Amino acid sequence: MFLLIVLLFCFTIFAFVVTNKGAGEALAGKGYKEYRLGDYNTWLQKRVNKNWPRIRSCLQDSQICKHLIEQGATPLGQFNKETLSALQSGCCKPPDECKFTYVTPTNWTGTAGSTNPDCTAWSNDQKVLCYNCQSCKAGLLDNIKSDWKKEAILNIIVLVFLIIVYSIGCCAFRNNREDNAWKRYP
């Protein structure tokens, strides 16, 4: 049980360290936030980079961009007010700084106004969109981050409980031994 407490404690510390950094950036006049891979923990970045081909095919099969694709030609003013999830913001539209011309949420024209590699990674093809973008990885990490944070908080509650049970158990064991010792050697 002591080993379990130590392991859980180490994992909890690790989870807090890993989820310490990174948050979406609010943009002036937009309802959605944008996400940068560089803002997140480097260990998580490496993991997500290494496994990206597999994660990407999963995201492409999922329905995360469906809502935006089906929305069609919403007026730009209305699209700007939308609150998008981290994955939708990162994977389904080009980053704001590319300054593309809006047609629909998943169809943008014009030449990139930024050297951000995500601007060249973007494609209007519904199978491609921004799934190759760094912002898409950042959106995923933002999800992982909030899940791990919740997990770490739950861990602390479990840890406190385990430590209480362990302390009571230890006390009882010691008292019992002292009692027996006293009985055996009066």
Given the rule CB under 6 A, which residues bind ligand NAG? 103, 107, 124
Q: Which is nearest to 164 in space by CA: 172, 174, 153?
A: 172
Q: Least separation, in Å, of the C-beta of 124 and ligand NAG?
A: 4
Q: In this complex, which beta carbon is closest to ligand NAG, that of residue 60 or of residue 107?
A: 107
Give the nearest residue (CB) to ligand NAG. Answer: 107
Contact between 122 and 160 under an 8 Å Cβ cutoff? The reply is no
**The token pair that represents 73 in the structure block:** 């030609």
| Long-range Cβ pairs for the range 165-172 (8 Å, 24+) | 165/1, 166/1, 166/2, 166/5, 169/1
Q: In this complex, which beta carbon is closest to ligand NAG, that of residue 7 or of residue 128?
A: 128
Q: Least separation, in Å, of the C-beta of 71 and ligand NAG?
A: 12
Q: Least separation, in Å, of the C-beta of 102 and ligand NAG?
A: 10
Q: In this complex, which beta carbon is closest to ligand NAG, that of residue 5 or of residue 103?
A: 103
